Amino acid sequence: MASDQTSGSTNARLKLRVAEVREEASGIRSFTLVDPAGGSVPPFTAGAHLLVDLENGLQRHYSLCNDPVETHRYVIAVLREPNGRGGSSFMHDKVREGVELTVSEPRNNFALVDGAKSYLMIAGGIGITPILAMCRALNRRGADYRLHYCSRTVETTAFRAELGGEPFAPRVGFHHDGGDPAKGIDLRALLETVPPGTHLYCCGPNGLMKAVEQAAAHWPTGTVHFEFFSGTGEPAQPHPGDQPFELVAAKSGKVMQVPANRTILSVLEENGIHVDSVCQEGICATCLTGVIEGVPDHRDLVLDAQEKAQNKLIAVCCSRSKTSRLVLDL
């Protein structure tokens, strides 16, 4: 999930027209977005997502699921979440063919590692979207991969007909648990053996992600990759024992105090320093900021273990400082 694999900026905005809306499965719709003037759209790489501006100031990240070689369109898919915060309801209830949406250029925190000997993919539910784009890219490369797609039922399995046909079918296994994870995929058995040179990619509900993380704990550092698309549903909260610390914005020279009950992001905003932020839970990478001095207390789900150990980046929406002074590249 390295931030240096970003292929766009959340600041840049595109006006795109919805050319097609399709029912991909029960509760899941895909939306094809094109340039209203018929031109090309900025390029993207497999695993990338768009930041979509919705109503009432809402913004949501949606992964691209079409083939990255396509330059004329973006395709996203959205699961209706009855208990969500309004983003999926807007997409399902308000967005129709012909509607124009404002989106960011593509950004990628979940890019494929080049040159792996093989790739093992695990997708759960709507988590198939970035994985599907990856499989398309791997098919073109002639790469060795295997996809395990977990869902409740056949009816809730998006893109099932496509994945059940060529060229995907020989490499795809479907797992339907009926809502009982005990009846689904056996992750311990699947991940017990580590094939040399294999990289593991997983996207899906938090329960699946946690189970994969535990089952793959023995895999070599840097070979397991996750894309989180949901967190707790609430902004980051302070932890018991959190301490205040001094925050310095290097470019402006401003010195601020971050109380134990405030986030870095809120203190920066209060002092007139704007940092793009969407999720405020540490799952979207939008607010990643460079660290010049100090040791962050990483609380995000975006940076991998190696990146956190390097202490070069921090998610200012949720993370704090282990040292009494933290200097950021702002």
| Separation CA 79–CA 245 (nearest Å) | 40
**Is residue 30 domain-resident?**
yes
Which residue, 41, 73, 104, sits at the end of a domain?
104
pTM over 0.85: no
> Are 265 and 294 found together in one domain?
yes
**Is residue 239 domain-resident?**
no
Which residue, 178, 194, 227, sits at the end of a domain?
227
Which residue, 104, 128, 153, sits at the end of a domain?
104
**Is residue 191 domain-resident?**
yes
pLDDT at residue 230, rounded to an integer: 56
> Are 267 and 220 found together in one domain?
no
Q: What is the largest CA-CA distance in the chain?
A: 59
pLDDT at residue 147, rounded to an integer: 98
Domain that holds residue 182: 118-227
**Is residue 24 domain-resident?**
yes
> Are 60 and 90 found together in one domain?
yes
**Is residue 73 domain-resident?**
yes
The CATH number that applies at residue 275 is 3.10.20.30
pLDDT in tens, 71-86: 999 999 999 988 776 7
> Are 20 and 67 found together in one domain?
yes
Please give the tally of structural domains in the chain.
3
> Are 168 and 136 found together in one domain?
yes
The CATH number that applies at residue 186 is 3.40.50.80
pLDDT at residue 229, rounded to an integer: 67
Give every residue of the chain whose pLDDT is below 50, as ranges. Answer: 1-10, 231-233
DSSP-derived secondary structure letter, 89 = H
> Are 31 and 58 found together in one domain?
yes
List of E strands, 113-252: 118-124, 145-151, 172-176, 198-203, 224-227, 245-249
**Is residue 111 domain-resident?**
no
**Is residue 113 domain-resident?**
no
> Are 19 and 70 found together in one domain?
yes
**Is residue 27 domain-resident?**
yes
pLDDT at residue 239, rounded to an integer: 83
Residue 279 phi, psi (nearest 5):
-80, -35
The CATH number that applies at residue 37 is 2.40.30.10
pLDDT at residue 82, rounded to an integer: 82
Please enumerate in sequence order all residues whose Cβ is within 8 A of that of 193, keeping only pairs 6 or more positions apart, or say none: none
> Are 205 and 126 found together in one domain?
yes
